[in-house]
Amino acid sequence: MTTATLPTRRDEAWRYADMDGLKRLGAAALDQWQAIDVPAGENLTRCLVVGSNAPEVQRLRVTLGEGACAAFFAVNRGGDYTRFEVEVRLARAAHFEFGGVTIGGAGVTREFVTQVTHAEPEATSNQTIRAVHWAGATGNFLGEIKVARHAQKTDAAQDFKGLLLEAGASANAVPQLEIFADDVKCAHGATVGELDEAARYYMMARGVDPATAQRLLVQAFIGDAFVALEDEAERERLLDAALAALEGANL
Amino acid sequence: MLEITNLHASVGDKPILKGLTLSIPAGEIHAIMGPNGAGKSTLSNVLGGKPGYEVTEGSVTFRGEDLLALEPHERAAAGLFLGFQYPVEIPGVSNVQFLREALNAQRKARGQEPLSGGEFLKLAKDKAALLKMDMEMLKRQVNVGFSGGEKKRAEMVQMGILDPAFAVLDETDSGLDIDALRIVGAGINSIMRAPDKAVLLITHYQRLLDVVAPDKVSILAGGRIVETGGPELALRLEAEGYDAVMA
Q: Residue A2 pLDDT > 70, yes or no? A: no
Interface check B48 vs A, CB under 8 A: yes
Q: Residue A1 pLDDT > 70, yes or no? A: no
Which member of B50, B103, B109 has the closest CB to residue A201?
A: B50
Structural domain includes residue A69: yes
Query: For residue A108, which of A186, A21, A231, A208 has the smallest C-alpha distance?
Result: A21
Asked if B48 and A205 come within 8 Å (Cβ–Cβ), the reply is: yes
Kindly give, in sequence order, each residue whose CB lies less than 8 Å from that of residue B43, ignoring residues fewer than 6 positions away: B7, B17, B20, B32, B202, B220
When the pLDDT of each residue in chain A is averaged and rounded to a whole number, the result is 94
Distances from the Cα of A210 to the Cαs of A202, A216, B6, B74, B91, in angstroms? Answer: 11, 10, 30, 10, 18
Q: Per-residue pLDDT averaged across B137-165, rounded?
A: 93
Residue range(s) defining the domain that contains residue A21: 12-194
Structural domain includes residue A58: yes
- The pTM (predicted TM-score) of the whole model is 0.89
Query: For residue B202, which of B59, B29, B48 has the smallest C-alpha distance?
Result: B29
pLDDT band at A195; cut points 50, 70, 90:
very high
A107 contacts A81 by C-beta, under 8 angstroms: no
B105 contacts A203 by C-beta, under 8 angstroms: no
Query: For residue A131, which of A162, A88, A156, A164 has the smallest C-alpha distance?
Result: A162
Asked if B102 and A208 come within 8 Å (Cβ–Cβ), the reply is: yes
pLDDT digits (tens, 9 = 90+) for B36-68: 889 999 999 999 999 999 999 999 999 999 999
What distance in Å separates the CA atoms of residue B95 and residue A191, rounded to the nearest whole number? 26
* DSSP annotation of A13: G
Q: Residue B142 pLDDT > 80, yes or no? A: yes
A141 contacts A128 by C-beta, under 8 angstroms: no
Structural domain includes residue A204: no
Q: Using alpha carbons only, what angle is made at residue A240 by residues A235 and A243, rounded to the nearest 5 degrees?
A: 125
Give SS3 for A139: strand
Asked if B92 and A205 come within 8 Å (Cβ–Cβ), the reply is: no
B140: amino acid identity, one letter:
R
What distance in Å separates the CA atoms of residue A13 and residue A153, rounded to the nearest whole number? 28
Least CA distance to B74: which residue of chain A?
A207
Q: What percent of chain B has pLDDT over 70?
A: 100
Query: For residue B80, which of B171, B168, B169 has the smallest C-alpha distance?
Result: B168
Q: Residue B247 pLDDT > 80, yes or no? A: no
Kindly give, in sequence order, each residue whose CB lies less than 8 Å from that of residue B243, ignoring residues fewer than 6 positions away: none
Asked if A217 and B93 come within 8 Å (Cβ–Cβ), the reply is: yes
Q: Domains in chain B and their CATH numbers?
A: 2-246 (3.40.50.300)
Structural domain includes residue A3: no
A76: amino acid identity, one letter:
N
- The residues in A 204-243 lying below 8 A from B, measured between CB atoms, are 204-210, 212-213, 216-217, 219-221, 223-224
Structural domain includes residue A92: yes
Structural domain includes residue A89: yes
pLDDT digits (tens, 9 = 90+) for B197-243: 999 999 988 889 999 999 999 999 999 999 999 999 998 888 888 88
DSSP A72-105: EEEEE-SSS-EEEEEEEEE-TT-EEEEEEEEEE-
What distance in Å separates the CA atoms of residue A77 and residue B168, rounded to the nearest whole number? 43
Asked if A223 and B82 come within 8 Å (Cβ–Cβ), the reply is: no
pLDDT digits (tens, 9 = 90+) for A215-242: 999 999 999 999 999 999 999 999 999 9
Measured in angstroms, the CA of B112 and the nearest CA of chain A are apart by 14
Structural domain includes residue A177: yes
Structural domain includes residue A246: no
Asked if B84 and A198 come within 8 Å (Cβ–Cβ), the reply is: no
Which member of B76, B92, B97 has the closest CB to residue A205?
A: B76
pLDDT digits (tens, 9 = 90+) for A134-160: 999 999 999 999 999 999 999 999 999
When the pLDDT of each residue in chain B is averaged and rounded to a whole number, the result is 93
Q: Per-residue pLDDT averaged across B84-91, rounded?
A: 93
What distance in Å separates the CA atoms of residue A69 and residue A92, rounded to the nearest whole number? 11
Structurally, chain A folds into a number of domains equal to 1
Query: For residue A59, which of A95, A96, A85, A31 has the smallest C-alpha distance?
Result: A85
Measured in angstroms, the CA of B144 and the nearest CA of chain A are apart by 12
Measured in angstroms, the CA of B45 and the nearest CA of chain A are apart by 10
Query: For residue B2, which of B171, B174, B222, B164 has the smallest C-alpha distance?
Result: B164
Contacts of B97 in chain A (CB under 8 A): 216
In a 10 Å sphere around its CB, with 0-12 CB exposed, 13-18 middle and 19+ buried, how is residue A167 labelled?
Answer: exposed
Asked if B88 and A198 come within 8 Å (Cβ–Cβ), the reply is: yes
**pLDDT, position A3:** 55
What distance in Å separates the CA atoms of residue A221 and residue A160, rounded to the nearest whole number? 11
pLDDT digits (tens, 9 = 90+) for A60-105: 999 999 999 999 999 999 889 999 999 999 999 999 999 999 999 9
Strand partners, B168: B82, B200
**pLDDT, position B239:** 87
Dihedral over Cα of A115, A118, A123, A124: its sign = positive
